[in-house]
């Protein structure tokens, strides 16, 4: 109170323009100047630095997840799906130190407190440690509900394979980071993966989203891939093949079923297999899709393909008779043997009895490179071009400087190697009026136009010769399917190892077409090293063909074409 | 004149506040919808998996033969009807 009463008296003693007034005004101006200077300093000179610092504390670029596309079978059944999972991570420095909280956390993570502590101690000087990866949302939520400081969720996707081991090698697997590692997952990774998007956001100190500033890049979810495979056929083929492999104590087996009109691969199964959902004990051998990646010597199943060359020439007709006596022949110091002495055989007879001698006699009357050219046109020695990783080309040695023995052995399927898929593709030429269809793992919107390799008449003749093989009493009798006419060729090959041909290890093969009246499917069955005594293709692989093809034709609603004959 | 301008300024200031508020509300809604989209996507995936488990060919076959007493028709049980 006293001061305010003093003021007027001072004003009187200090008139306008006096030194004190000016001093005050000066001080105010200086203060103003300092303020303006500071404002300029902050807004103009330091602006970049300060803006940067501010942005660094609030602006964040967030990724927008793009989930991986689905892989389905031809009817839309899922073969691989991404489902969201939560990985829990922690910042060890923010974790509570008291034992009760830690024990609670450990319990909710299914760990003992000691395990958890060890883990945290190990990463104590870091700011990031995974507590548990890839938990289902329903299991991770209770942990998050504990609201323990320093525990954060990280949203990820996990790949799940509903069909499990049945289509494991075909579909393949992804790794922890959701990248394709095997099979179709790898082959079409770019298409399936999708591109994560980015957006700029403002976050507060606790990481809560305040504002979405703008989208830097839109998330592009991965595409969905429809394979040609029919899951019902795949399941059935896997089961039948597995039964046969177990029954004969074989090392493995392969089955490929192709649509004889489109070239689509309807079923492709291999043994041994693995469960892609649980990769703890994966056998490395089971990872390969052997139907595509492994080449083997095909043996007798190549005879109809080699014979197609002869039948197109003037010199041979289906009725041409070849003398195969005495059941063996010597060629360049090799001896070619038949099972027994069949004497005179027609073309059909050579196939029916699978005569190596007869086949060799035919082959040697053909131009040097004729059979090689045919094999090449049928796709052997070249990658089938399905895009499947590790696709084998097989081997088809060039014809230069061929000896008689090499030409002969090639005609009955030795000295070349092919994959089961190549073999199935070559057989589509017989089934499809001489037009070979390239195999396709993806469902085709339009039927493929095959490439004319064999003349339609010869293809038709061969189909009927092959039908005779599946008749009662013939070598492939066990391949017969009740109600349907089927055609096919058996094959039995000695396995090759580094030390040469094995005396006691065989591959048992059957390649066939059904139904004969209007071919729908081409199926190749290979059983690797059956060890229970029998090993002939007609005894091991043919019954698998019969069961698989019989069920497949029924599932595909194919009209029985032999019913009347049996009634 | 000045009074009119002041009123206009005040009005536009209030409008800015309102629109900012509306933006926040809509943004919150957008986020919520995105979350529910994610959840629905998850659920769809899980339902798809469930469906494929229940409809696995082996299971259908087993149920058909055990519970419904069905069997694969023998050859002479099949009648082909031609039109």
The answer to whether residue A565 neighbours chain B at the CB level (below 8 Å) is no
The residues with which A84 forms a beta bridge, in sequence order, are: A157
Contact across the interface for A560 and B45, Cβ inside 8 Å? no
How many angstroms away from the CA of A507 is the closest CA of chain B?
A: 29
Nearest by CB to B48, which of A81, A232, A483? A81
HEC profile for A111-147? CCHHHHHHHHHHCCCCCCEEEEEEECHHHHHHHHHCC
Q: Do B57 and A566 touch (CB under 8 A)?
A: no
Query: Residue A327 is encoded by which pair of tokens?
Result: 């059941």
> Beta strands of A233-367 (E only): which ranges?
252-259, 265-271, 321-323, 328-331, 334-337, 344-346
Q: Quick one: DSSP state of residue A46?
A: S
Chain A residues close to B72, C-beta within 8 Å: 554
Q: In sequence order, what are the residues at sequence separation of 6 or more whose Cβ sits closer than 8 angstroms to the Cβ of residue A70?
A: A78, A80, A81, A82, A224, A225
As a whole number of angstroms, the distance between CA A430 and CA A489 comes to 12
The answer to whether A162 contacts B49, with C-beta atoms less than 8 Å apart, is yes
Q: How far is CA B74 from CA A35, A499, B47, B77, B79, in A?
A: 100, 49, 36, 5, 10
Q: Is B45 on the interface with A (CB under 8 A)?
A: yes
- Picking from B52, B53, B75, the nearest residue to A566 by CB comes out as B75
Residues of chain B in contact with residue A67, where contact means CB-CB under 8 angstroms, are: 41
Q: Which residue of A has its CA nearest to B55?
A: A77
For the question of whether the overall pTM of this predicted structure is more than 0.90, the answer is: no
**Predicted local distance difference test score (pLDDT) of residue A566:** 47
User: For residue B82, is it within any domain?
Assistant: no
Alpha helices in A401-493 (DSSP H): 404-411, 420-431, 456-469
φ, ψ of residue A435 in degrees (nearest 5): -95, 120
Do A251 and A95 touch, CB atoms closer than 8 A?
A: no
How far, CA to CA in Å, does A426 sit from each of A393, A409, A423, A521?
A: 13, 19, 5, 13
SS3 annotation, A205-255: CCCCEEEEEEEEECCECCCCEEECCCHHHHHHHHHHHHHHHHHCCCCEEEE
Residues comprising chain B, all counted:
83
Long-range contacts of A442-448 (CB under 8 A, 24+ apart): A442/A225, A442/A226, A442/A227, A442/A228, A442/A264, A443/A74, A443/A226, A443/A227, A443/A228, A443/A264, A444/A228, A444/A262, A444/A263, A444/A264, A447/A261, A447/A262, A448/A262, A448/A263
Dist. CA A411–CA A173, nearest whole Å: 39
Q: Do A140 and A86 meet the contact criterion of CB atoms below 8 Å apart?
A: yes
Q: Which domain holds residue B38?
A: 2-77
pLDDT at A111: 81
CATH for the stretch A62-90+103-111+128-226 = 3.90.1310.10
Please state, in angstroms and rounded to a whole number, the distance separating the CA atoms of residues A224 and A85.
Answer: 20
What is the domain class of A231-566 according to CATH?
alpha beta
Whether residue B42 lies within 8 A of chain A, CB to CB, comes out as yes
Contacts of B70 in chain A (CB under 8 A): none
Residue of B nearest to A84 (CA): B42
Is the Cβ pair A235, B56 closer than 8 Å? yes
Closest-approach residue (CA) in chain B for A65: B38
How do A71-72 and A225-226 pair as beta strands? parallel
Interchain proximity A162–B57, CB inside 8 Å: no
Relative to beta strand A59-64, strand A328-331 is unpaired
List, by residue number, the catalytic residues of A: 300
- Say if A321 is an interface residue toward chain B (CB within 8 Å): no
Q: At what angle do helices A303-312 and A420-431 cross, to 10 degrees?
A: 40
Q: Mean pLDDT, to the nearest integer, of B62-78?
A: 85
The candidate with the shortest Cα–Cα distance to A358, out of A325, A390, A402, is: A325
Q: Which of A160, A163, A483 sits opposite B75 (nearest CB)?
A: A483
Cross-chain Cβ contact B57/A81 below 8 Å: no
- Most B-contacting residue of A84, A167, A558 (CB-CB within 10 A), to test interface: A84
* Domain edges within chain A: 62-90+103-111+128-226, 231-566
Number of domains in chain B: 1
Neighboring chain B residues of A82 at a CB cutoff of 8 Å = 45
Interface test with B, best of A81, A140, A554 (most B CBs within 10 A): A81
B6 has a chain A CB within 8 A of its CB: no
Determine the distance from the C-alpha atom of residue A438 to the mean position of all C-alpha atoms in its chain, rounded to a whole number: 18
Question: Does an H or E element contain A332, and which?
Answer: none
Q: DSSP readout, A77-113?
A: -EEEEEEEEEEEEE-TTTS--SHHHHHHHHHHTT--H
Closest CB from A78, A84, A563 relative to B52: A78
Provide, as residue numbers in chain B, all residues whose Cβ is less than 8 Å from the Cβ of A162. Answer: 49, 52-53, 56
Look at residue A322 and give its three-state secondary structure: strand
Q: Choose from B46, B81, B82 for mutation: most chain A CBs within 10 A.
A: B46
Is the distance from CB of A553 to CB of A481 less than 8 angstroms? Answer: yes
What residues have CB less than 8 Å from A417, skipping those under 6 apart? A295, A296, A297, A298, A394, A395
Successive 10-residue mean pLDDT values, chain A, 567 residues: 48 64 94 94 86 83 81 89 84 80 82 82 81 82 82 83 87 84 89 84 72 78 89 91 92 93 92 82 76 91 93 89 87 85 89 91 89 92 88 84 84 91 94 91 83 91 92 87 91 82 85 92 93 84 93 88 61
- Residue B39 within any structural domain of the chain: yes
Please report whether residue B15 resides in a domain: yes
Buried b (16+ CB within 10 A) or exposed e, A458-483: bbebbbebbbebbeeebbbbbbbbeb
* Per-residue pLDDT at A2: 46
For residue B73, give the chain A residue with the closest CA. A554
Q: Do B49 and A160 touch (CB under 8 A)?
A: yes
Cα dihedral A547→A549→A552→A558 (10° resolution) = -130
Rounded Cα–Cα distance for residues A326 and B72 (Å) = 48
With H, G, I as helix, E, B as strand and everything else as coil, classify residue A475.
Answer: coil
């Amino acid at each position: 109170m006293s001061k305010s009463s003093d003021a007027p008296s001072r004003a009187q003693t200090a008139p306008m323009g006096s030194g004190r007034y000016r001093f005050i005004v000066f001080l105010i101006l200086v203060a103003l100047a300092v303020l303006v200077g500071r404002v300029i300093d902050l807004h103009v000179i330091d602006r970049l630095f300060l803006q940067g610092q501010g942005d660094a504390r609030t602006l964040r670029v967030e990724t927008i997840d793009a989930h991986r596309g689905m892989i389905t079978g031809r009817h839309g059944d899922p073969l691989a799906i991404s489902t969201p999972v939560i990985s829990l991570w922690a910042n060890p420095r923010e974790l509570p130190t008291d034992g009760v909280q830690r024990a609670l956390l450990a319990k909710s993570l299914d760990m003992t407190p000691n395990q958890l502590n060890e883990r945290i101690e190990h990463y104590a000087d870091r700011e990031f440690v995974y507590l548990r990866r890839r938990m289902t949302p329903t299991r991770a939520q209770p942990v998050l509900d504990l609201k323990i400081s320093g525990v954060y969720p990280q949203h990820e996707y996990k790949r799940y394979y509903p069909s499990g081991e049945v289509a494991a090698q075909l579909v393949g697997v992804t790794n922890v980071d959701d990248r394709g590692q095997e099979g179709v997952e790898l082959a079409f990774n770019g298409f399936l993966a999708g591109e994560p998007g980015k957006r700029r956001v403002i976050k507060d100190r606790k990481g809560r989203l305040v504002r979405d500033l703008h989208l830097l890049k839109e998330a592009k979810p991965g595409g969905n891939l429809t394979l040609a495979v029919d899951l019902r056929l795949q399941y059935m083929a896997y089961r039948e093949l597995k039964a046969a492999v177990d029954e004969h104590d074989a090392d493995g087996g392969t089955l490929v079923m192709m649509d004889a009109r489109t070239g689509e691969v309807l079923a492709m199964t291999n043994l041994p297999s693995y469960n892609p959902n649980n990769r703890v004990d994966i056998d490395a051998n089971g990872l390969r899709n052997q139907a595509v990646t492994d080449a083997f010597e095909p043996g007798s199943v190549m005879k109809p393909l080699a014979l197609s060359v002869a039948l197109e020439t003037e010199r041979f007709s289906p009725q041409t008779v070849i003398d195969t006596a005495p059941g063996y022949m010597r060629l360049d110091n090799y001896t070619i043997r038949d099972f027994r002495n069949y004497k005179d055989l027609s073309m059909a007879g050579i196939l029916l009895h699978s005569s190596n001698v007869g086949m060799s006699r035919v082959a040697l009357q053909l131009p040097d490179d004729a059979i090689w050219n045919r094999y090449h046109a049928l796709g052997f020695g070249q990658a089938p071009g399905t895009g499947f990783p590790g696709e084998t080309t097989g081997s088809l040695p060039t014809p230069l400087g061929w000896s008689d023995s090499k030409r002969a052995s090639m005609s009955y399927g030795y000295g070349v190697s092919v994959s089961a898929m190549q073999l199935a593709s070559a057989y589509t030429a017989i089934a499809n009026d001489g037009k070979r269809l390239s195999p396709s793992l993806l469902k085709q919107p339009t039927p493929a136009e095959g490439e004319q390799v064999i003349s339609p008449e010869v293809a038709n003749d061969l189909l009927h010769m092959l039908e005779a093989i599946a008749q009662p009493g013939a070598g492939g009798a066990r391949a017969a399917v009740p109600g349907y006419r089927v055609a096919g060729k058996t094959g039995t090959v000695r396995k090759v190892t580094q030390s040469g041909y094995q005396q006691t290890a065989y591959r048992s093969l059957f390649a066939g077409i059904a139904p004969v009246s209007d071919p729908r499917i081409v199926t190749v069955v290979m059983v690797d090293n059956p060890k229970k005594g029998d090993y002939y293709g007609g005894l091991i692989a043919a019954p698998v063909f019969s069961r698989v093809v019989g069920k497949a034709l029924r599932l595909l609603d194919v009209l029985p074409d032999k019913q009347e004959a049996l009634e | 004149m000045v009074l009119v301008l002041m009123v206009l300024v005040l009005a536009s200031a209030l409008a800015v506040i309102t629109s900012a508020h509306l933006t926040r509300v809509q943004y919150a809604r957008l986020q919520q919808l995105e979350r529910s989209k994610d959840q629905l996507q998850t659920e769809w995936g899980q339902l798809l998996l469930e469906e494929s488990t229940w409809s696995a060919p082996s299971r259908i076959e087993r149920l058909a033969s055990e519970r419904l007493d069905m069997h694969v028709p023998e050859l002479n049980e099949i009648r082909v009807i031609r039109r």
